[in-house]
Every structure is written in structure tokens, then in C-alpha cells.
Amino acid sequence: MNYLVEKVSEYMQQNHMVEEGQKIVVGVSGGADSMGLLFVLSELAEYFHLSLAVVHVNHGLRGKAADGDQSYVEQVCREQKIPCYSFHVDLKRFAKKEGMSEEEAGRYYRYQCFEKVRREISAQRIAVAHQREDVCETVLFNLFRGTGLRGLSGIPPVRDVIIRPLLCAGRQEIEAYLQERGIGWRTDETNLTDLYARNRIRHAILPYAREYINAAAGQHIQETAGLLKDIADYLDRQGEAAFDLCAEVGRQASVTIHHETFLTFDIVIQREVIRRAISVAAGQLKDVDREHIEMIRALMDKYVGRRCHLPGQLQAVRTYDGIIIKKENASAETVKEAFCMDVRAPGKFVIPGPGMEIELSLREDYENEEIPINRYTKWFDYDRIKNGLTVRTRENGDFITLDGQGHRKLLKRWMIDEKIPREQRESMLLLADGNHILWIMGYRISDNYKVTDATKRVLVVRIKGEKSDGGQYQNIVDRGRSRYPDSRTG
């Protein structure tokens, strides 16, 4: 096995890039890096039992030269008997329409094409041809224009379905491999000019650093990027845990940060919480910089009602509880439409909106009787209820008991772990005893309230109404039931 092929094989296995039998979409421009990626993966295809498909994107910027790139890639794919999907776009027009630079628009369009083909052919991975020098260029580019830790972490080997098998190799290694194999490649003349900032880093700054500062400058940049990635990953985990404790997502993707808990965290974690809150409210972090993060931190010391404006048509407003980040046109009244109704046994209660009726009853003569396996009826140990019952939507601090050992989980964390869509979380109905959730309707009940041999009185809760006979609510319950099947203990 060739040295580069063996090196890439080990790198792919270390980073768990593929599994046997998977399909991979390979982005191929025709340049040296992408041709190297295609042929290295072709050699490894038999070893990993992979199926390859190529995607080529003609950006329409270089006329006949770009058409020649497309023809070359298609010809190579025919010879290698690899399916090839070619796309053509007027990138200048597309960039103008989307309000992006040509470089940004080109990347966006390429990945759209990769994903389109991946879905069409049911592939599991998309392989792109970034290599070691690309990491150095990305780190320096982000450093010069201003960035945080994540921007200095380079390019990850795996992100979602995207894999980058050549990050372990340098440009010279790739070209040497192609020459050894007698494989040609196309040269994009624009890469030889200094029209783009990345080209200036590639042609001037990195060579200068290697010649006059340290010959291993590129390697050291990549190693440092790896260390910073580990730190960024750690802060991500800490920021997520802190966000779960002090932030609450409401209607219209607004986020409330509760100041009492927020202020207990170190300033580094506070910034992570704010960054995550903006990302949730806006759906992205584009154009958000350190200044915006610090503006929101400063709001914690301001009077109620003070606000600041953020990118993405967001605003942050000081409230009695802390800070709410929301869309400029979202009123405080419509941000979260909570529902709460006190219920008791015995009794019947109509839930407005869903067209449901909740019926509660008590039983003492249940010995030796099997708990019915019924998607609309649940049994609970009535004597474990301490604060009275409500049917409501979620509130800050809600939790559920997961097992007989009493392990608890915040309801917000549970919803995230179960991948409940964000837009559904605020409308899900709960049966609650204070902040302790007995039943996430349609999903699961709390172990703390399950019926056991020691139970004296059973609370029977039944959902009735036309929608529980085959409409929207039945669909919700069916999804929950498939994850949490009924059992003897409820």
C-alpha cells in the first residue's frame, strides 16, 4: 500500500470517518487535492467496502477553463466507473442574489450540491479535499479578521456527515502521490493570483514564516489549532451545561437568561452561555462578535427595560429575571404562551385548544390486577403526590425521575437529549406535581410515581376526546409509546 494511502487510512480510522459498506459523495474540482482525495479513496474503497460518487461544481467564473475542468472530471469518472454529478451555476449572479461574497457563495452552493446528491443516493458521508496547509491558512485568516477559540481551532476532520481524510497530508505529499501514479490534475489560475486573502496568506505569509521564522511553522500552527480545538470542545460542554441551568427557550425561539444563576459562573462560561443564547434565538452566529457578547453582559447591571440591538434583527432586553434575547418584532406577551390548569381526583377537565379531556379517578381495590397497556391511560402512586396536580406546559426548573434509584434530569435537558423539535417543546402537555413531572404526555412517566407493591391508592389518569381517537394527539402518543412502551409499573 502506498505511503499516503496508508497514512490516510490510519487517519480515517483514528477519527472514525467511515464504516464498512457506506456510500461517500466526493467533492472533486479537478485540482491536485481533490484528485488526490478521489484516487486515495478509490484505493481504500475495497478495504473499507465503500461506494463512491463524485460531485463537480462549475462556478461559471472561468469560461472555457472551467468547462475544461468539468470535462476532465467527468472523463476520469467514466474511466474509473464512478458515478459523476455535475452542477453549473452563475456564481456572480448567485452571490449578488444571496448577498454574499463570491468566495462565500461558492462554498455555500457547493455544499448544497453535495447534500442534494447525498440525499438522492442515500449516501452516509461527504468527503472534501482540505489538507494540512488549508488548516494553517484558515487559522491565520480567522486570526487576522478577528475570531474566537473555535475560529482558531482550524478545520475539524469530521463535522456531521462531512469528512476530510487528507487533513493529515501536505500539498507536496499529495502531488508526489499523483505523479507517482501518473494522474494528472487541473490548475485553477485564480489560485496562483493574490485576488483573495487566503491566496496572499498561502503565497506570501506562510512561505515567509517558514523561511525566516521557523521551517516547521505550518506544523506548529496545525498542532496549536488541535490544542485549541480540545479547549473549545471543553468550553462547549461547560457552556451547554451552564445554559441548561440558567437559560430558558420560549416561543419564537426567544431565550431568557436568569441572572441569579448566570452570575455564579466564571466570565468565560458567561460568554459561552450568551453566545449559545444568540445562536438559538437567531439560528446562527453570523456577524456576532465580542462586542455584542460584552454588550449583553453589561445589560445585567442595567435597569429593567434597557436594551441593546444585535445582528440578525435581534434585541436583548433587561427584565426582572435577567435578560431576554428575541426578535425585534416579538412582543414580550407573545414570546411564551404558557398554559396551566389545576386538576384533582376525582374529576374531569377540558383542555382548551387540543380538544382533550383529562379524567382523574382514584382506586384502592387494584390488587392482583394488571395495569392496562393503554396509550391514553396511566396509573400513578397517589400518595407520592406532595404539591397537588396541574396540567400545563413546561416551566423553568421542571425535572423528571428516570429510574428507581432516583436519578433526575432537567426536563429541558431531557427534551434536548430526546431530540424533541424546539418548536414542539413549549406546547407539550405535562402532568406535574410542582416542578416534578409525573407524565410527559405522549412520552414517558416519572419512576418516582410508578405503582409498586407498596402502593395503597392508585391515581388513574385518562385522556379522552375526539383527538385522542385518531387525530393529532394520537400521533404524539404513538411516537412516545414507541420509545417508552408500557410496563407493569406504568
Domain regions of the chain by residue span: 3-218, 250-334, 340-483
Residue 476: pLDDT band with limits 50, 70, 90: very low
Residue 483: pLDDT band with limits 50, 70, 90: very low
Residue 370: pLDDT band with limits 50, 70, 90: low
Of the candidates 342, 373, 376, 361, the one whose C-alpha atom is nearest the C-alpha of residue 457 is 361
Q: Which three cell numbers stand for residue 426?
A: 413549549
Considering 95-99, 127-131, 153-157, 333-337, the range whose residues carry the highest mean pLDDT is 127-131
Fold of 3-218: Rossmann fold (3.40.50)
Instruction: Compute the distance between CA of residue 109 and CA of residue 317 in angstroms, rounded to an integer.
Output: 36
157 Cβ neighbours under 8 A, 6+ residues apart: 11, 15, 17, 163, 164, 165, 167
User: Which residue do the cell numbers 478577528 mark?
Assistant: 146
Question: Phi/psi class of residue 157: alpha, beta or left (left: φ > 0; alpha: ψ in -120 to 50)?
Answer: alpha
How confident is the model at residue 393, as a pLDDT?
A: 86
Contact 380, 476 (CB under 8 A): no
How confident is the model at residue 338, as a pLDDT?
A: 63
More confident residue, 252 or 198: 198
| Element holding 126 (H helix, E strand) | strand 125-127
Average of pLDDT values for 225-239? 92
Instruction: Compute the distance between CA of residue 112 and CA of residue 200 in angstroms, rounded to an integer.
Output: 27
Instruction: Compute the distance between CA of residue 343 and CA of residue 348 in angstroms, rounded to an integer.
Output: 8
Of the candidates 191, 184, 203, the one whose C-alpha atom is nearest the C-alpha of residue 61 is 191
Lowest-pLDDT choice from 26-40, 316-330, 412-426: 412-426
Architecture of domain 250-334: 2-Layer Sandwich (3.30)
How confident is the model at residue 472, as a pLDDT?
A: 39
Average of pLDDT values for 259-276? 93
How confident is the model at residue 455, as a pLDDT?
A: 86
Average of pLDDT values for 32-54? 94
Under DSSP, is residue 29 helix (H, G, I), strand (E, B) or coil? coil
- How many beta carbons lie within 10 A of that of residue 352, not counting itself? 8
Quote the DSSP letter at residue 20. Answer: T
What does the pLDDT look like over 66-116, one tens digit per residue? 899 999 999 999 999 999 999 998 988 888 888 888 888 889 999 999 999
DSSP for 406-445, written as a single string: --EEEHHHHHHHTT--HHHHTT--EEEETTEEEEETTTEE
How confident is the model at residue 227, as a pLDDT?
A: 93
| Separation of CA 182 from chain center | 41
- Cα end-to-end distance, the chain, whole Å: 58
How confident is the model at residue 354, as a pLDDT?
A: 53
Instruction: Compute the distance between CA of residue 66 and CA of residue 57 in angstroms, rounded to an integer.
Output: 9
Q: For the whole model, what pTM was predicted?
A: 0.60
Residue 335: pLDDT band with limits 50, 70, 90: very low
H helix intervals, 326-402: 332-335
- How many beta carbons lie within 10 A of that of residue 295, not counting itself? 15
Average of pLDDT values for 420-442? 82
Lowest-pLDDT choice from 115-124, 196-205, 297-306, 352-361: 352-361
Average of pLDDT values for 438-450? 88
Cα dihedral sign, 326-332-333-339? positive
* Angle, vertex CA 443, rays to CA 361 and CA 359, nearest 5: 20
Considering 76-85, 132-141, 197-206, the range whose residues carry the highest mean pLDDT is 76-85
What are the distances in angstroms from CA 293 to CA 181, 253, 263, 316? 52, 18, 15, 11
Average of pLDDT values for 401-408? 87
Q: Residue type for 73, please?
A: V
Average of pLDDT values for 466-477? 41
What are the distances in angstroms from CA 13 to CA 39, 148, 356, 463? 18, 29, 52, 51
Average of pLDDT values for 485-490? 40
How confident is the model at residue 283, as a pLDDT?
A: 78
Average of pLDDT values for 356-373? 75
Is the pLDDT at 466 greater than 50? The verdict is no
How confident is the model at residue 252, as a pLDDT?
A: 67
Lowest-pLDDT choice from 23-27, 28-32, 184-188: 184-188
Of the candidates 184, 174, 185, the one whose C-alpha atom is nearest the C-alpha of residue 7 is 174
Of the candidates 270, 60, 233, 33, the one whose C-alpha atom is nearest the C-alpha of residue 133 is 33
Q: How many residues does the chain have?
A: 490
Residue 490: pLDDT band with limits 50, 70, 90: very low
Under DSSP, is residue 352 helix (H, G, I), strand (E, B) or coil? coil
